[in-house]
Every structure is written in C-alpha cells, then in structure tokens.
Amino acid sequence: MFETIILILDATLRVSTPLILAALAGLFSERSGIVDIGLEGKMLAGAFAAAAAAAVFGSAWIGLMFAILASVALALVHGFACITHRGDHIVSGVAINTIVAGLTVTLGLDWFDLGGQTPALSGDGRFTSITLPFADALADVPVMGLIYSELISGHNILVYLAFAFVPATYWVVYKTRFGLRLRAVGENPHAVDTAGISVAFVRYRAVIICGILCGLAGAYLSTAHNAGFLKDMSAGKGYMALAALIFGKWRPVPVLLACLLFGFLDAVAVRMQGVALPGIGEIPVQAIEVLPYVLTVLLLAGFIGKAVGPKAIGKPYVKERA
C-alpha cells in the first residue's frame, strides 16, 4: 500500500512539471498586467520545436534551445500585439493557440512525413532520469529509502528545475527591484510611468520570461515525458496551468500546490484504470480524468474565496500626455 502511494506521488511530480512551468510563466505575464491565454500555444510550439531539433541534431539540449526560441518568439508576438498596439489580450492568445495547433501538424507532415509527428527520440535526444547519490544503496531501507530512491531520485533535470523555479520565482517577484516593478505595472502602471520607468519595457521582459518557461514546459513534454511530438500533445495543459494560476491567486507557492493537486488527480486516473473498487465496481477512467476540471470550476466559483488578480490586468496602457 505504501509503495503504491509513493508511485502515485512519483507520477504526480512528473505530470505536474509542465503545469508548474506554464503556471509560473503565466504568473510573470499576468503580474505585469498581460493576460496570457496563449500558454497552451507556446507550450505546444516548444514541444514541436524541441522534438524536431532533437530529431535532427540528436541532442535534447539543442532541442531545448529551439523550444525556448520558438516560445519566446510567440511571446514577443503576443507582447507586440498587446503592449505596443494595445490589442485585445484574449484574442491575441486564442490566435496563437489556433495558429500553433495547425502549424505544428503542417510542418510535421512536410518535414518528417509521419502524420504530423516527429521521429521517435532515443539516447541523447531525450532528457533521461538522474539517479541521485546513494539512491540505489538506500533503496532497501524501509520508508525513507523508498521515498528517496523512488520519489526524490530518478527524475530528469527538467523536473528538478521546475520545482527549483518556484522559490526562485518567489525571490524574483517579491525580493528584487524587477519584481517590485513587475507587480507595480500590474497594479498601477501610471504610477510606474510617473516614476520614470518604462511600463512597456517591464512588460516585455515579463513576456520574455513567460516564453522561456513555456519553452521549458514544451520541451519537457516531447523530449522528457515522451519520446517525440504528437499532435496536440499539450492536451489542454496550458489552460489547466492558467486555472492553477487563478486558483493559486497569482502567488508562487499556492500555484505550485494547485498544479500538484491537478497532477495528483491525473496520476490517480492512470492508476485507477481497470481497477474495481469494493461495492462500487470499475469506475470509468473518464470520470476521474474530469475531476481536475470539475474541481477548478467549483473552487473558482467561490469555495476558496474570490480570486482577485492584478488591477491593471488585461487593460491597455495609454501613456498620459503632459
């Protein structure tokens, strides 16, 4: 029983990783006042770019670089539309998601002729698991040995980076000058402008950080969690990350916990396939898979209190003339 719990928690960490990266990406963007529905599209673009580059060059690290470049490029397009031209944030994000969903399949068909997929990755083309020191030696130790060898050890580097980015994000947002300016432009951009700080420059930096983190999330999907790109492989994770961001009220640690909750429910759904419960029988896996979405609706409906975002979020900033 204990081993089953550890295995479910281990799967939770793996499934939660892209959600954490994408949610933190959204945190930077939305803290600056830029709504980012396009997390899904940037993640999907990153997944395709990473898998395609890794297949061509045989290196997961080169794939990661291309994933970040692709995602940052889309983030800059979103920034250009919403910051420079003060366009509608939702329309821009939806447009990115729609274009990327079709473009990745089209490029996959043209480049690899595998039905929109990329070639299967192996060897250096994937991020493989890392065995931490003494993990094998401690595997037989009761309780703590299993926790260390199965739950803590054995993940790839992107999993460890995702969890390391949570305290890093907290430090950047709440303990640095950039973080202070980031929060300020999301609350009162006119006051920031009056202080002589460029609102556009701060917001562009925020969307670039958002692009980097979405690129990492996409690369994880195709070169770590899976062995190649599949059509629509992000499967709504960008929207779930956005829900986790709202659920966590735009704060790093609550956002992490929300992502872990969604990941846990997803991991349980996988483990429950074909399992018959006493007195209930076999539960359709679809009923379990829908739980994160139902939970999101219920919680955001008021069971966790009102989630109030930054005051200037989604509002075009027009510089006041003297």
Angstrom CA distances, 289 to 115, 213, 238, 293, stand at 27, 26, 16, 8
pLDDT one-digit tens code per residue, 52-97: 999 999 999 999 999 999 999 999 999 999 999 998 999 999 999 9
Confidence of residue 28 (pLDDT cuts 50, 70, 90): very high
Q: Where are the domains of the chain?
A: 2-126+136-303
Please tell me the class of the 2-126+136-303 domain.
mainly alpha
pTM: 0.92
C-alpha–C-alpha distance, residues 318 and 108, integer Å: 41
Confidence of residue 300 (pLDDT cuts 50, 70, 90): low
DSSP 143: T
C-alpha–C-alpha distance, residues 316 and 322, integer Å: 19
Kindly report the number of other CB atoms within 10 A of residue 259's CB atom. 31
Residue 199 gets the label, from left (phi > 0), alpha (psi -120 to 50) or beta, of alpha
DSSP conformation letters of 107-130: HHHHHH-STT--PPP-GGGSPPPB
Write down the pLDDT at residue 176. Answer: 95
Write down the pLDDT at residue 274. Answer: 63
C-alpha–C-alpha distance, residues 126 and 50, integer Å: 10
pLDDT one-digit tens code per residue, 123-158: 899 998 888 887 777 777 877 888 888 888 889 999
pLDDT one-digit tens code per residue, 156-186: 999 999 999 999 999 999 999 999 999 999 9
Residue bearing tokens 């759904």:
269
Kindly report the number of other CB atoms within 10 A of residue 39's CB atom. 31
Helix (H) or strand (E) holding 74: helix 60-79
pLDDT for residue 277 is more than 90: no
